[in-house]
A = this chain, B = another copy of it.
């Protein structure tokens, strides 16, 4: 993270917020154009994540660009939607039906060109439907083969575009193929293309019981941290809560390491707001990231780093408590 913090937002939380108990949702869905304009009103926001083909398609490139210009925003990345329709229920690149696998490849290839056309050099790919639910349901070896081959084909089709893989341990399947940062690194090694990296979704890492600062630091060490999604949760499910409303110290540690390793990509908001005002929630998310980022600037970086190599390992905990609570006047 450099001095200019790049914050963008996903636009899904301006939708109706439906779930399996109430697919009609709890909110009035905002149309795509208005979502972008609302995002444009958020202080501190510089970009939006679009979704192909849900929010932008080949047909809507020009009006989308116009709306973006009107809102004063750029596109941070475009999500490849190979999960939000019934046909993807058993997977995208690893669907048991070869025709669906081919469709997934084709959709991503088209989506990359749409992303380029709206001004982004990066697409994200969350293989959310790729995995399994029950024992004795899939051949685990096939899934790896299909995933690696399919992704390689997508990546090779346009080396000028970067593809970031979003891992998540589960949901909607009981077990995702791309479940953890380590699994993603292992599979990227097999794909072996220079334009494939990682989207680190903070909440996904937390509910995979990763320390998210560790995941960020190791991904940076490999040069593979392409994008961040910020949200929060209790560590057991992907609640997509407003970042910084639960995890304070861990979020601070994450941002400390992003700074330390020189991360200069986008920090995107990926929250869910079925029961609160989406604009308020998004704005608070942006503010909390900015605030935690500024707070890391107040930390005694050299002492913290030196303490990490000590055998006595509670020194930093005292230092952090002293720094933060003293600043709070308590």
Residues of B within 8 A of A185 (CB): 182, 186
Residue of B nearest to A139 (CB): B308
Does chain B have a CB within 8 A of A20?
yes
- Chain B residues contacting A253 (CB-CB under 8 Å) are 135-136
Q: Are A140 and B218 closer than 8 Å at their CB atoms? A: yes
A275/B133 in contact, CB under 8 A: yes
Given the interface contacts A22-B86, A313-B276, A317-B136, does A237 sit within 8 Å of B27 by beta carbon? no
A189 within 8 A of B: yes
Tell me the chain A residues, 210-261 only, with Cβ under 8 Å from chain B. 211, 213-214, 217-218, 221, 233-237, 239, 241-242, 244-246, 248-250, 252-253, 256-257
Contact A309 B139 (CB under 8 A): yes
How many chain A residues touch B (CB < 8 A): the figure is: 108
With beta carbons under 8 angstroms apart, the residue of B135, B250, B309, B314 that contacts A277 is: B314
CB distance from A40 to the nearest CB of B (A): 20
Once the chains bind, are B140 and A84 in contact (CB under 8 Å)? no
Q: Once bound together, how far apart are the Cα atoms of A329 and B288, in whole Å?
A: 13
B234 touches A275 (CB 8 A): no
In the complex, what distance in Å separates the CA atom of A321 from the CA atom of B304? 25
The reply to whether B144 and A249 form a contact with Cβ atoms under 8 Å apart is no
Say if the beta carbon of A77 comes within 8 Å of chain B: no
Residue-wise interface mask of A (284-325) relative to B, using a CB-CB cutoff of 8 A (1 in contact, 0 not): 100110011011001000001101111111101110110011
A90 at the interface (CB under 8 A from B): yes
Nearest-Cβ distance from residue A306 to partner chain B, whole angstroms:
10
15 examples of A-B residue contacts, CB within 8 angstroms: A23-B23, A26-B89, A132-B214, A133-B275, A134-B246, A134-B314, A135-B249, A138-B313, A139-B217, A140-B211, A172-B274, A182-B182, A284-B317, A287-B325, A298-B328
- Taking Cβ atoms with an 8 Å cutoff, the residues of A that contact B are 16-27, 83-86, 88-90, 96-97, 128, 132-142, 144, 169-172, 174-175, 179-180, 182-183, 185-186, 189, 209, 211, 213-214, 217-218, 221, 233-237, 239, 241-242, 244-246, 248-250, 252-253, 256-257, 272, 274-277, 280-281, 284, 287-288, 291-292, 294-295, 298, 304-305, 307-314, 316-318, 320-321, 324-325, 327-330
The 8 closest A-B pairs by CB, nearest first: A248-B248, A182-B183, A294-B330, A276-B314, A23-B23, A18-B23, A26-B89, A136-B316
